[in-house]
Amino acid sequence: MTAWINLPAVSKIVLLGLLLGAGLPALFAVGVRLNAQGAGAAAHGGVVSQKNPALAALSWVLFALVLVAVVVGVLFVARDFIGQHTGLYILGAKHK
């Protein structure tokens, strides 16, 4: 590599970083909002809304998505280790 800056890597880090690093907490925030609305705890112009089980359920789907992302993150960190000890090469783990 002769370049001073590894631009391909930097641009991927920025793009995926924005998507995951900013997107996931935003998704979680939407979950918190739906959960509040579902429980009738979110105010709309001073009027407290009714309970809405569908919104509450949807909020749990979003929380589960974020949880899945965290689990994938952990597996990603551990992928080489898992690959070496179980033979399951996931998420681009290096073969030995």
Partner 1 sequence: MDFQLFLLIIVVVTALAFDFTNGFHDTGNAMATSIASGALKPKTAVALSASLNLVGAFLSTAVAATIAKGLVDSHLVTLELVFAGLVGGITWNLLTWLLGIPSSSSHALIGGIVGAMIAAVGGHGVIWKGLVSTVLIPAVLAPVIATGVAALGTWLVYRAVRGVGEERVNTGFRYGQIGSASLVSLAHGTNDAQKTMGVIFLALIAYGAADPKSSLPPLWVIVSCAVAIALGTYLGGWRVIRTLGRGLVEIQSPQGMAAESSSAAIILLSSHFGYSLSTTHVATGSILGSGVGKPGAEVRWGVAGRMATAWLVTLPSAGIVGGVTYFIVHGIGGFPGASIGFALLVTASGVIYLQSRKAPIDHKNVNAEWEGDLTAGTSSQAPPPRAASTVPPSVSNDATQGAKTR
Q: Rule CB under 8 A: which residues touch partner 1?
A: 1, 3-6, 9-10, 12-14, 16-18, 20-26, 28-33, 35-37, 41-44, 66-67, 70, 73-74, 76-78, 80-81, 84, 92, 94, 96
Taking a C-beta distance cutoff of 8 angstroms, is the pair 34, 54 a contact?
no
Min dist. Cβ of residue 66 to partner 1 (A): 7
Between 45 and 53, name the residue whose CB sits nearer to partner 1.
45
Taking a C-beta distance cutoff of 8 angstroms, is the pair 93, 82 a contact?
yes
**CA pair distance 73, 16, nearest whole angstrom:** 13
